[in-house]
Amino acid sequence: MNDEIINLVVQRTGISREQATTAVAAVMEFVGSKLPGGAGGQIDALIRGQTGAEPGDMMKARLGDLLGGGGNS
């Protein structure tokens, strides 16, 4: 799982790293289950650091798909 997100949760909440890891995993599972199509898998890959795409680019493309614009300006 992405250490940056885990560290942010630890810093902002004061919970242990283990608790933060569990919390982030639960939130990502929930969010992934609510997204259409393959978006959940893309978000999961992003969180796990398994993609070369920049987060902003990926989200822009996904939002464009959802809004019918294909994510291209």
How do the pLDDT tens digits run along the chain, 73 residues long? Answer: 678 889 999 999 999 999 999 998 898 888 888 878 777 777 777 766 655 555 556 566 666 666 765 544 4
Q: In whole angstroms, give the CA distance from residue 48 to residue 68.
A: 27
φ and ψ at 38, to 5 degrees?
-90, 10
The two tokens of residue 15 are 């919970």
Mean pLDDT of the chain: 76
